Amino acid sequence: MALLENMRIFVRVVELGSLSAAGRNLRMSPAMVSHRIQQLETHLGVRLLNRTTRQLQATEAGVDFYQGCLDVLEAVERAHSNIVTGSTLPSGSVRVTAPLGFGRRILAPLVPEFCAANTLVEVRLRLSDHLLDLLREAVDVAVRMATLKDSSFVVRKIADLRRVLVAAPSYLEERGRPQAPADLTDHNCLLLRFPGTQQFQWTLLDKGEPVKLSVAGRFDADDGDVLTGWALDGRGIAMKPLWEVAEHLASGALVPVLPDHPPEPVMLAVLYPHRALVPAKVRVFADHMVPRIRSALTALSPDTMV
């Protein structure tokens, strides 16, 4: 058991990139984490980590051992689940992250049904419009609306989502309606800010070809629902997934802007860290949610998905 625990500690150190971060995650002191890594290196007879005052990096042997640790720990978790439940039923906590508005309106209502069908699984939902680091934050599953390029994750596409530029009629009456994408530079654009954002760019389609525009505005926020509220109040033009504003478009509270130059669609997907053995609790969560999310989006607006 000591060896398995040391392997778990080593995995967290590699994933979080430092002894102190792993210690905080595991509720251990950095000194104890370092001691356990040294025990592991002594047991194996190889150096697993190169340490300097500024950084920590896995050695070549450490990278190979890290992959082996993932396989072993996943197999142990699967075997433990089988013994405890007497079957292959999934069990344990699933830590899930999703965007704020999507999580509130689409994902959260689906969680009770999932838990009723999987009585041994608990869902820990963390909603944020920030793109959390799955490994650093110890997240099992993420639902993302973004361009996904990281091949270290399993990506299960749900749909490509239509996006629209919207504004309140009162704003357009006051400021005028843009006739071409370049006109957006004369308007107050409502902007979604992420950590480290230096400038804002919107990509619109012109006869099917993407055109990038630098945009600016007096208001930005890290919560997409705040942008919708500002748009409804006549504060500016917002870029939103169609499903988020479909009811406001239907009521006339918001109207489309530049409908002949729509924003590029954005992919909606479920993703989780790549493993040789995907935990059953993660697999059944994804299997359950993917078709139900599609149905929920279609119910909001049949034109939501491309």
Q: What are the sequence ranges of the domains in the chain?
A: 2-85, 92-159+268-300, 163-257
Backbone angles phi, psi at 99, to 5 degrees: -60, 155
Q: Residue 285 has what DSSP assignment?
A: H
**pLDDT digits over 235-247, tens only?**
999 999 999 999 9
Instruction: Output the CATH code of domain 2-85.
Output: 1.10.10.10
The model's confidence at residue 75, banded by pLDDT at 50, 70 and 90, is confident
User: How far is 58 from 37, CA to CA, in rounded Å?
Assistant: 12
Single-letter code of the amino acid located at 284: V
Give the pLDDT score at 196: 53
Q: Which two tokens stand for residue 127?
A: 């909603």
Q: Is the pTM of this model over 0.85?
A: no
Percentage above 90 pLDDT, the chain? 57
**pLDDT digits over 145-189, tens only?**
877 665 567 889 999 999 999 999 999 999 999 999 999 999 999
Q: Are 161 and 306 in contact (CB under 8 A)?
A: yes
Q: Are 54 and 48 in contact (CB under 8 A)?
A: no
Read out DSSP for 68-112? HHHHHHHHHHHHHHHHHHSSS---EEEEEEE-HHHIIIIIGGGHH
Q: Are 100 and 86 in contact (CB under 8 A)?
A: no
Hey, CA dihedral for 128, 132, 135, 137, is it positive or negative?
Answer: negative
Instruction: Output the CATH code of domain 163-257.
Output: 3.40.190.290
Q: Same topology for domains 2-85 and 163-257, yes or no? A: no
Instruction: Output the CATH code of domain 92-159+268-300.
Output: 3.40.190.10
Strand-strand pairing, 56-58 and 49-51: antiparallel
